[in-house]
Amino acid sequence: MSPDLREGYRRCAQLTRASGTTYYWGTRILPPEQRRDVHAVYALCRMADDIVDAPGATEPAKLAATEHALRGLQERFEQALDGGSAGTILDAVAHTVRSRRIGPACFDRFFAAMAADLTVREYRSYEELSGYMDGSAAVIGEMMLPILQPTSDRAFGPARDLGLAFQLTNFIRDFAEDARLGRTYLPTEELRRFDVPPGIRSVTPQWRAFAAFQIERNRALYASADAGLAYLPARSADCVLTARRLYSRILDRIEGAGYDVFTARVRVPTGAKIALSADSVIRRWMTQRRRQSPIGPADRADPTHLA
């Protein structure tokens, strides 16, 4: 590997740790090459997200410049895929995409969803929202599968569901922050059904009922995603399980805060992330020890360890 490519991967890891700490701690379980490639895919997604979420990005005076920046990122990435040099991070991402044979069409869907963020302000129904989330979330699960090396095509649906679950958690947690950016991701039909005004700024009984409904839906997606663990190699399954445990813990903390997502951003403390990651490492060590016993179980992540 060339020094420039090595530097690109280093910067991808740095960006993941700075912006996606939950994903970062989950990937600590993976072997170095898989961890490197997960960081690369995350870095590209983060770069696009930072463009569309920049302050004032969708204001009329800045919209054209934002669209240009997003198109430029996509074009530089495609240039790197074609073998050209597009900068250290994008060259590393392209190296991962080629070596893991991730379908380029996945990235077309992703960039189309990012472009929609610049013009679509709300989603009327969950069906409409799901169309957006196909390109912004489910497709990321598809991108990760070649890196995680599933043993069966049956991992495909659960991988998509995990991407959806992660993003729906974001939408619940970031409802107030998104509203300040002029976006309402959670379906407006459902807001009306629960008598929640779009501009709500504090917790009400109606908001609690609405948020509880969204969390129930979110947990169903996590449960569906858990079925895919059986189709992943042990360390890949442990990585996914750790990220899932860390991210779904956000829902627990929202409930513990009385569904208050308005006062402060709900977070899982770093100490808890480290503890959960360490727990996964210990489970892996114990599983390996059991495998050495003639009566040891198969080397699979245990989907019951979701607490």
Give the domain CATH number at 282.
1.10.600.10
30 and 107 share a domain?
Answer: yes
For residue 106, what are its two tokens? 């996945």
| 224's tokens | 């569906």
Residues 201 and 88 in one domain: no
Long-range contacts of 288-297 (CB under 8 A, 24+ apart): none
Neighbours of 304 (CB within 10 A): 7
Question: Angle formed by the axes of helices 104-116 and 126-133, to 10°?
Answer: 130
Indicate the residue among 75, 97, 119 that finishes a domain.
119
Residues 94 and 141 in one domain: no
Q: Is 129 in the same domain as 112?
A: no
Per-residue pLDDT of the chain (307 residues; tens, 9 = 90+): 889 999 999 999 999 888 766 777 778 889 999 999 999 999 999 999 999 988 888 888 899 999 999 999 999 999 999 988 877 899 999 999 999 999 999 999 999 999 999 999 999 999 999 999 999 999 999 999 999 999 999 999 999 999 999 999 999 999 999 998 889 999 999 999 999 998 899 999 999 999 999 999 999 999 999 999 999 998 899 889 988 988 899 999 999 999 999 998 887 655 555 555 556 555 554 554 555 555 444 444 544 444 4
112 and 125 both lie in a single domain = no
Q: Given 3-state DSSP classes, what are the helix, strand and coil percentages for the chain, each rounded to the nearest 5?
A: 70, 0, 25
Q: Which of 68, 93, 119 is the last residue of a domain?
A: 119
If one counts the domains in the chain, the total is 2
Verify that 184 and 234 share a domain, yes or no: yes
Same domain for 178 and 258: yes
* Domain, as residue range, for 160: 121-307
- 155, 145: one domain: yes
CA–CA dist 2, 229 (Å, integer): 35
Question: How far, in Å, CA of 194 to CA of 181, rounded?
Answer: 23
Same domain, 22 and 97: yes
- The pTM assigned to this predicted structure is 0.86
